[in-house]
Structure 1
Amino acid sequence: MDQKRIADTIGCTVRHMRVMTQSDMTCVMWAELEDTDGGEPTAMVPRQVVVKHTADNTALIEGRMLQKLGALSPIRYPGVLYGDDHLLVMDYIDADGQAGPSGAQDLAQQLAAQHDITQPDFGLEFDTLIGGLYQPNPPCANWLEFFRDQRLLFMAQCASDSGKLPARLYHRIEKLCTRLDEFIAPDVKPSLLHGDLWGGNILYHQGKLAGLIDPALYFGDAEIELAFGTLFGDLNNDFFDTYRQYRPLERDFFTTRRDLYNLYPLLVHVRLFGGSYVNAVDHNLAQLGF
């Protein structure tokens, strides 16, 4: 990453930069800044920023998601200082990873408040990304239809086209999709979702929620967010005990809909990685009776 380009983009001299993560498509760096006259950065430009450079146009879409969440959500998301097709400069959020019971409770309270934010339709006014994969969000008044067509069938088709989802599993998903009304109530309301709620995207600092990063934004059933949070064990009993104080959670969420809703992130992982995630899809379908 060219330090001069970053400096020219945000109007500050870059003191130091270091790589945080790097892949074939994306490089994420931490940078420490000073303003151009040698003084301290202003309130508008923080001392520390995160710089993300992408080989595709995902930087632009991520910037739009962060701006949308920053305008609507009570949770802190990185503020966007600059964004174009391939470059995103964001606030750096301090995080020591120390959560404990108080951190889980803080996340539950703030996430419940975000889930209370609604709109008439499911989806969003623009398409987004999850794990770098395209995520369609055409507005839809019915959650069952949206989840069926834009989440389960869409990602199953992507995973099948990539050769990572066996045909036998794809056909079982199709069969499940004909009977979703047995699992999903007709009166689900849209909630503002982070969309990719796993531990790596949850930042804690000194026992409090510091913020969320790397969203896969849309409006959907709040339960799909909660299900995803249990997939790798990131949302625990302390979280759910507190969440229930602010929003209802039906008992059958844990017995049926969690397995149903986790099919979507599992299909995302199948499309990205294949391997053991194929077996996990098989397991969840069997748990649901398919």
Structure 2
Amino acid sequence: MNARKAVAGLLGVAATGAHALGADVFEVDLDDGGFVVAKHGPGRVAAEAWGLRWLGEPGCVAVPQVLAVDDRWLVTEQVEPGGPSRVAAERFGRGLADLHATGASAFGEGPADAWIGLAPMRNEAGAAWPGWFAEHRVRPYLREAVDRGLLAAGPFEAVLDRIAELAGPGEPPARLHGDLWSGNVLWDRHERVWLIDPAAHGGHRESDLAMLALFGCPHLDVVLAAYDEHRPLADGWRERVPLHQLFPLLVHVVLFGGGYARQATAAARAALG
């Protein structure tokens, strides 16, 4: 794996060095003094590139430009890091609301074979969110977790039996980031928020907000207030946060096991009220 050579080949420019930013992610120095980010992910980066373009298309929230992609490498522009601020958080809340409102053709719009982190995520189109979420987001990871003896199915099956009742008012498909934890939210020096590493698909807008809350986000209260003021959320959305968190928590159970099984089970019980 050589990020410098990969970038040089994809962009057709000289690359002078590469520095690891994380597992399989590199900052690459270009001969002209610029920088790009290169991500290595055979079989995964094509879906991520699609997601970045899809999220960036409406221009509601800043998303790094895709500069090149092949079956192994994704090259994007670099974001100059800054610090979180209430001004940026308010803008982000409004921008995220607008992004969601641009919509999707269906629940499950997106590349058929996608990924959330290192877990495969299958996108199948659905017309109604409750059944789609149960079948294509919760059940695949629940089955694997149960088969591996990581947790008991009971509380989750109870949620799925009642999901039409628990889901709240019907909503049209939203244009989701899909993996919107705080590590995928970058704050730059110009009081802007950038979204990276998406598992983008058509889904329920409350799912992105529930993910933001799951692992914490700077100025989350400002983000949510600005969102709700700009494009009001349906009554009871706060009570539905645990329901929407079932998907990312089960993904974490499958990937990491341990305490996530307890956290996922607690969320299932909370979703039941």
User: TM-score, normalising length from structure 1?
Assistant: 0.87
Shift of 1:20: 0.9
Kept in 1, the 8 Å contact 2:3–2:18? The answer is no
Q: Tell me what 1:278 maps to.
A: 261
**1:140-165 deviations in whole A, cap 9, x for unaligned?**
1111111110111122123234x153
Q: Tell me what 2:96 maps to.
A: 111
> Please, which of 49, 54, 60 is the counterpart of residue 46 of structure 2?
60
Q: Tell me what 1:241 maps to.
A: 225
> Please, which of 230, 233, 238 is the counterpart of residue 213 of structure 2?
230
Moved more, 267-276 or 176-185: 176-185
Kept in 1, the 8 Å contact 2:116–2:179? The answer is yes
Letter in 2 for 1:242: A
Kept in 2, the 8 Å contact 1:123–1:139? The answer is yes
> Please, which of 21, 26, 31 is the counterpart of residue 29 of structure 1?
26
Instruction: Sort the Cα spacing of 1:267 and 1:5 in 2 relative to 1 into closer, same or farther, 3 A.
Output: closer
How many residues of Structure 1 are paired with residues of Structure 2 in the alignment? 270
Q: How does 1:1-290 map to 2 (within 5 A)?
A: 1=2, 3-22=4-23, 27-34=24-31, 40=32, 47-54=34-41, 56-96=42-82, 98-127=83-112, 128-161=114-147, 163=148, 165-166=150-151, 168=152, 170-185=153-168, 187-206=170-189, 208-234=191-217, 236-255=220-239, 257-289=240-272
**Separation in 2, partners of 1:282, 1:4:** 45
Shift of 1:117: 0.7
User: TM-score, normalising length from structure 2?
Assistant: 0.92
**1:38-94 deviations in whole A, cap 9, x for unaligned?**
xx47xxxxx21001122x311222122222223244212121121111111111111
**1:13-40 deviations in whole A, cap 9, x for unaligned?**
1123111112xxxx11101212xxxxx4
Kept in 1, the 8 Å contact 2:6–2:73? The answer is no
Instruction: Sort the Cα spacing of 1:160 and 1:108 in 2 relative to 1 into closer, same or farther, 3 A.
Output: same
Any idea what SS the aligned residue of 2:45 has?
helix
Instruction: Sort the Cα spacing of 1:210 and 1:33 in 2 relative to 1 into closer, same or farther, 3 A.
Output: farther
Any idea what SS the aligned residue of 2:145 has?
helix
Instruction: Sort the Cα spacing of 1:204 and 1:72 in 2 relative to 1 into closer, same or farther, 3 A.
Output: same
**Separation in 2, partners of 1:111, 1:270:** 27
Instruction: Sort the Cα spacing of 1:164 and 1:62 in 2 relative to 1 into closer, same or farther, 3 A.
Output: farther
**Separation in 2, partners of 1:20, 1:48:** 13
Any idea what SS the aligned residue of 1:140 has?
coil
Letter in 2 for 1:239: V
**Separation in 2, partners of 1:2, 1:215:** 21
Letter in 2 for 1:118: G
Shift of 1:139: 1.0
**Separation in 2, partners of 1:103, 1:164:** 43
**1:238-285 deviations in whole A, cap 9, x for unaligned?**
112211121112342112x10111111110110111111111112112
The percent of aligned pairs where both chains have the same amino acid is 30
**Separation in 2, partners of 1:106, 1:186:** 27
**Separation in 2, partners of 1:288, 1:133:** 24
Q: Which of the pair has more CA radius of gyration?
A: 1
Instruction: Sort the Cα spacing of 1:186 and 1:145 in 2 relative to 1 into closer, same or farther, 3 A.
Output: farther
Moved more, 170-179 or 147-156: 170-179
Kept in 2, the 8 Å contact 1:164–1:270? The answer is no
**Separation in 2, partners of 1:250, 1:5:** 46
Kept in 2, the 8 Å contact 1:95–1:210? The answer is no
Letter in 1 for 2:44: T
Consecutive unaligned residues of structure 1, counting only runs of 5 or more, are 35-39, 42-46
Letter in 2 for 1:275: G
Task: Choose between structure 1 and 2 for higher RCO, CA contacts under 8 A separated by at least 6 residues.
Answer: 2
Kept in 1, the 8 Å contact 2:80–2:189? The answer is no
Q: Tell me what 1:44 maps to.
A: none
CA RMSD for the aligned pairs? 1.9
